[in-house]
Amino acid sequence: MALLETQGLRARYGEIEAVHGIDLAVERGTIVALLGANGAGKSSTLRAITGAVTTAGTIVFDGAPVRGMRPERAARLGIAHAREGRGTLSEFSVRENLALGAYTDRDAARVRARRQRIHGYFPWLAEREDQRAGSLSGGEQQLLAIARALMLDPKLMLLDEPSLGLAPMLVRGIFDLLQTLNRDEGLTILVAEQNAAIALAAASHAFVLEAGHIVASGPSSELLRDDRIRQSYLGY
């Protein structure tokens, strides 16, 4: 059963339409990759899902149509969005960044328990809670962004270009973590990524975007075997 479905989803920045009628489905408990070159519309698609840009079309989440989606409503429905560029609040501490991730939950005991569970995945966060987020390395900031999204206890995580600016070894570690979260927590993940090879290795299904349109989709294993798709759209 699909946790998220979009039909005719469009995203607009003023007079410029960046996403042109996208239909996609993300099955519950899976990792799905959104692939394409820079400017293909990946980030705009994620922003449209949360209502962070002007949108049109239909969004169905957890079996119910959502009208008038906005970022805060998306968060309250259980959609966490780790944005491109890591999105940590650099002047805030690690602790404060994590607290902001749980702003929709007023149950202090539940938030503490969630923080302890997240420390199991990111033990270094517990040791560096007072450190300013902006002083972390790029890889650490990306992990903090993921940890902050997990503080929402989401049903769906939207992750935008997690490999951006990071060394290959760090990228591999991040995608290993996503697979662990998917396996152990049952977390559903939609990840927008330019690094097609590593995203397809982690995902069960993928959609390929070009100029705001879906030009290919299917099981990751099939896309990896399709020479036309690999050469034309995936860049390897």
C-alpha 44/C-alpha 135 separation (Å) is: 29
pLDDT of residue 233: 66
What is the model's pTM?
0.93
DSSP assignment of 52-113? SSEEEEEEEETTEEE-S--HHHHHHHTEEEE-TT----TTSBHHHHHHHHTTT---HHHHHH
Radius of gyration of the chain (CA): 17
Closest CA to 100 of 75, 131, 124: 75
Coil, strand, or helix at residue 172? helix
- Residue 133 near residue 101, CB atoms below 8 Å: no
List the domains of the chain with CATH numbers: 2-86+156-234 (3.40.50.300)
Per-residue pLDDT of the chain (236 residues), as tens digits, is: 899 999 999 999 999 999 999 999 999 999 999 999 889 999 999 999 999 999 999 999 999 999 889 999 999 999 999 987 666 778 899 999 999 999 888 889 999 999 999 999 999 998 999 999 989 988 889 899 999 999 999 999 999 999 888 889 889 999 999 999 999 999 999 999 988 889 999 999 999 999 999 999 999 999 988 887 777 766 66
**What residues pair up with 80 in beta bridges, in sequence order?**
157
Cβ contact 217:36 at 8 Å: no
Q: Specify the pLDDT at position 234.
A: 67
Within 8 A by CB and 6+ apart from 22, the residues are 6, 8, 9, 10, 41, 45, 57, 207, 209, 212, 213, 214
Q: Which two tokens stand for residue 82?
A: 């780790």
Number of alpha helices (DSSP H) and beta strands (DSSP E) in the chain: 10, 10
Dihedral of alpha carbons 91, 95, 97, 100, sign? negative
Biggest CA pair distance of the chain: 52
Q: Which helix (H) or strand (E) holds 117?
A: helix 108-121
- Look at residue 87 in the predicted model and tell me its pLDDT: 67
